[in-house]
Amino acid sequence: MLVVRGGTVVDTAGVREADVAVEDGTITAVGSGLAADADRTIDASGRFVAPGLVDSHVHLMLDGRPDPMSVAGESEAMHSYRAAARLREAVRAGVTTVRDLGAPGTVGVDAARAVEADVLEGPRVVAAGETITMTGGHTHYTGYEVDGAAEAREAARTQLKRGATVLKCIATGGVLTEGARTGRPELFADELRAIVEVGEAAGVPVAAHAHGTEGIANAVRAGVDSVEHGTYLDEGTAELMAQRGTYLVPTTKALVGIDRGGVESGIPEWAVGKNDAAFEAHRRSFELALEAGVPVAMGTDAGTPFNDHADAAEELELMVERGLSPERALDAATVDAADLLALDDVGRVTEEYCADLVVLDGNPLSDVTAWQRPRAVVADGDVVRDDT
C-alpha cells in the first residue's frame, strides 16, 4: 500500500487535511492515520494533494515543432516513438489522463493500449484515432477524408473498430492546415450528424474542431459533446451550448504558442497570419462562453507549435487570466474533463477512484500556477515522480 501522508487534499469537494491510501491503482481510503500500514509513503506535509490533470485535447505524435505539417511524410513507427516520449513528459508533469484528438492510423489508440498494458509510461489515453475531415479539409494530411453522410458513418465506425473511445470531426477550417480558411464550415450538417449518430449508438463522445460561427452552430446542433477551440462563437450559439451542456475546450495555449513563436521561429507565415486574425476573437469567445454558462473542459492542443505536452498546466493559468475562477479551473481539468471523456472514476481524491494524484507546493485555488510544478505524481497508482 502507498500512502500520500500529511497533506491538504484539494479537489472539487473542497479542502481538507487527509492521508490518501492507494492500492492496485485505486484510492482505497482518504482519512487520518493511514500511514501506519504503508509499504511506501510520499511526504505531503505542508503541501497540497490534488487529482492529476486531465488534458482533453492533445496530439501525441506532435512535438511542438514550428511546422506540424512537416510530420506528414513520416512513418507510423516514427509517430509512435515520438508519442512515447511525449507520454513520459506529460505524466511526469502531472498530466494523468490525455485525450488524443487525431493521429494517423492506430498511433493514438495503440498509445492507449500500450499505457494500459504497462508497455509505456504515460497518462491514461483516450484516443480518437484519425480525425474525420472532408476531402482536402483541415488535418487532411493525417486524417480520414470523407464526403457525404455514408462515408462519414463508415469513417466513424472504422475508428471505433480500431479501438477509438472518442470520435473527432472537423466542422470548420483551421489555423495549421495550409489553404483551409479558419472560420469556414467544412463537414456539412448531415455529415456531422452521421458521425454523432455513430458515436451515440456506441456510447462514445464526439469532439468537433470548430472555429467559425456557422460551423460551431452546425456541430452543436448535430449533437457533439465538445467544441474544440470555439473561435468566433456568437451569443446565440453560446446559449445553445449552455442549454445542451456542450463543452467548450478552448485550447488557449495553442493560439498563445503560435503567437509567442511568430514567423521568425519557423512557423509558416500563413499559419501566423490566421492565428493573428483569430487571437482576439478567441479571447472574446471564451468570455461569451463564460457569460452564457457553457461548461468548460481543459484542453491544450499540446504538440502544436511551442505548445509542449509537459506545459499543459499553463492552460489553467491562461483560462484564469481570461476570467475562469480557480475553482472552475480545477473542475475543468479534473471532474468536468473526466465527465466529457466519459470516465466516471477519474478526477477526485476519493475512495474507489483511480489513483491519479499530484502533490503541489501551493494551493491551486489561491495560486493557479501551483499546478505547473508538481513535487510528486502518482498515475494510476504508480509513483512516476517523487521530489518531496
- Residues near Zn ion, by CB under 5 A: 301
Nearer to Zn ion, 301 or 331 (CB): 301
Rounded Cα distance between 177 and 179, Å, is 6
Residue keyed to cell 497570419: 273
Q: Check: CB of residue 356 under 8 Å from CB of residue 97.
A: yes
Q: Check: CB of residue 384 under 8 Å from CB of residue 121.
A: yes
| Shortest separation between residue 301's beta carbon and Zn ion, angstroms | 4
Q: In the complex, which residue's CB is closest to Zn ion?
A: 301
Nearer to Zn ion, 70 or 366 (CB): 70
Nearer to Zn ion, 110 or 301 (CB): 301
Nearer to Zn ion, 89 or 301 (CB): 301
| Shortest separation between residue 130's beta carbon and Zn ion, angstroms | 12
| Shortest separation between residue 300's beta carbon and Zn ion, angstroms | 9
| Shortest separation between residue 166's beta carbon and Zn ion, angstroms | 12
Rounded Cα distance between 276 and 85, Å, is 31
Backbone angles phi, psi at 202, to 5 degrees: -95, -5
| Shortest separation between residue 150's beta carbon and Zn ion, angstroms | 26
Nearer to Zn ion, 145 or 301 (CB): 301
| Shortest separation between residue 101's beta carbon and Zn ion, angstroms | 5
Nearer to Zn ion, 301 or 308 (CB): 301
